[in-house]
């Protein structure tokens, strides 16, 4: 079985080669900005359009399970689809970029990062610390506030980045996302930012 890193690098090459802008979010983003933890998949937001589907599936053919008909249907519905790397059975969740203002802002603020994955340095675009916090809070809220993993990821990013966080940006978007109380609770947690 091959490393998931090989699949990740192959996917990044395919996206970049086809001119599909993307960013990594989810647990990998919170590991970059907070405390590293194992993850069973990698979440990517991609500015993918219908004309990208067939070329992307063709580019990944042989190395990935990538069903273009399913990908196209998910894109039309604005839903996530999976790409599964055959060599490692690792799953990559592709979220089509939403036209909602927050998601557009989040995507515009992504930045290139270098991160060590299984001993290998890989460069890729990643969501900002602030946007990672906000998305994790939104997922925590939508899951009835029971996921200790999501909440723990938020607290880890707040602790690690506390002096660097743009609190104005966080508070500006917390309202529209319906997570104001959760944000303030996270910022007041031990080791968090009290500004």
Determine the pLDDT at residue 194: 40
Distances from the Cα of 3 to the Cα of 32, 38, 62, 112, angstroms: 19, 14, 16, 22
Average pLDDT of the chain is 93
Kindly tell me if the per-residue pLDDT of 1 is higher than 90: no
**Residue-range domain boundaries for the chain:** 4-127, 130-188
Distance separating alpha carbons of residues 47 and 110, to the nearest angstrom: 13
Kindly tell me if the per-residue pLDDT of 140 is higher than 60: yes
Of 53, 45, 55, 56, give the one whose Cα is nearest residue 131: 45
Determine the pLDDT at residue 115: 94
Contact 95, 71 (CB under 8 A): no
Determine the pLDDT at residue 38: 82
Of 147, 115, 103, 102, give the one whose Cα is nearest residue 31: 115
Q: What is the mean pLDDT of residues 8-24?
A: 97
pLDDT in tens, 86-124: 999 999 999 999 999 999 999 999 999 999 988 899 999
Decide: helix, strand or coil at residue 110.
Answer: coil
Distance separating alpha carbons of residues 188 and 182, to the nearest angstrom: 10
**DSSP 8-state code for residue 78:** T
Q: Was domain 4-127 assigned CATH 3.30.460?
A: yes
Distance separating alpha carbons of residues 171 and 173, to the nearest angstrom: 5
pLDDT in tens, 22-45: 999 999 999 999 998 888 789 999
More confident: 26 or 194: 26
């Amino acid at each position: 079985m091959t490393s998931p890193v090989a699949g990740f690098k192959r996917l990044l090459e395919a996206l970049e080669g086809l001119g599909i802008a993307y960013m990594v979010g989810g647990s990998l983003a919170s590991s970059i900005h907070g405390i590293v933890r194992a993850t069973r998949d990698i979440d990517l937001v991609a500015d993918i359009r219908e004309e990208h589907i067939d070329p992307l599936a063709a580019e990944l053919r042989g190395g990935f399970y990538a069903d273009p008909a399913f990908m196209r249907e998910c894109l039309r519905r604005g839903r996530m689809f999976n790409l599964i790397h055959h060599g490692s059975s690792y799953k990559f969740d592709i979220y089509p970029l939403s036209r909602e203002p927050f998601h557009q802002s989040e995507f515009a603020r992504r930045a290139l990062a270098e991160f060590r994955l299984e001993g290998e340095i890989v460069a890729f675009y990643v969501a900002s610390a602030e946007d990672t916090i906000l998305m994790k809070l939104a997922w925590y809220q939508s899951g009835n506030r029971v996921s200790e993993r999501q909440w723990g990821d938020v607290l880890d990013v707040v602790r690690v980045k506390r002096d660097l966080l743009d609190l104005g940006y966080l508070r500006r978007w917390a309202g529209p996302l319906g997570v104001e109380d959760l944000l303030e609770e996270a910022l007041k947690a031990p080791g968090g930012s009290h500004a």
